[in-house]
Amino acid sequence: MKLVLLPGLDGTGDLFSPLLQELSEYKCEIIPLPSSGAQDYKTLTDYVLGELPDDDFVLVAESFSGPIGMNISRVGLTNLKGVIFVATFLSPPNSKLIALAKILPLKLLSVLPAAKTAYKLLFLGSKASDTLTQQFQSTIHDLPASLIKARLSSIQSLSFDNKLYTLPAGYIQAVSDKLVPAAKAREFYDCFGNITIKIVEGPHFILQANPVECAEAIIEMACDFYDSNHPAGTPVLC
């Protein structure tokens, strides 16, 4: 079983490291988003399509990459067995917060004295380790402010399309998500007739804050996707 991971707003994939430790027995491939050029969802989708593997895989789309995962699900790739969306959205999740973030960029927040406290409060949860918090702070600090602003603008431009798709899908919802309202999961219900919702305790960066439960949910859903796409009696290595 192969998992292809699309990162959140940072686009690097560096923050997947806690999850990858829990998925060490499985084939995982990260597709970082391009750090230059247009950052609209169509351009990013076209880029990711060119990087996808030729063999069977399950796509895991985190936060910012959720709309990319949705776009790819529409293409009709025969080797795409399902999509797992993580703490994400198909329409702007919080317009006021996005507008504020464009005025006061996350990159600026990363150098403030209380940056670690703010990151734990908004993104990582109070139980986040110093190592994870430092990694998050470093990753955000290294991103160009213009890149973050461009991606936030892409989120603002989203419009919800509730066309129904038959591809198997899953959604991991973070209980204490301060960035993406719980109601955003309903958009995925409206788009996929075959979707599983897994509710996991933790903040918006749920893959980093609770990698054990998230890995279990991903493996369970991905195995179900593979089973539904294989004839009865065909062995699936899950």
- What residue spans define the domains of the chain? 2-91+160-228
Angle at 122 between CA 37 and CA 32, to 5 degrees: 30
Token pair in block for residue 58: 């399950």
Q: What is the dihedral of CA 234, 236, 237, 238, to 10 degrees?
A: -150
Residue matched to tokens 């699936």: 236
Topology of domain 2-91+160-228 in CATH is: Rossmann fold (3.40.50)
Per-residue burial over 29-55, b = 16 or more CB atoms within 10 Å of its CB, e = otherwise? eebebeeeeebebeebbeebeeebeee
pLDDT 10s digit of each residue in the chain, 238 long? Answer: 899 999 999 999 999 999 999 999 999 999 999 999 999 999 999 999 999 999 999 999 999 999 999 999 999 999 999 999 999 999 998 765 565 455 455 555 555 555 666 666 666 776 777 787 777 777 877 788 889 889 988 998 898 887 888 899 999 999 989 889 999 999 998 899 889 999 999 999 999 999 999 999 999 999 999 887 654 434 344 5
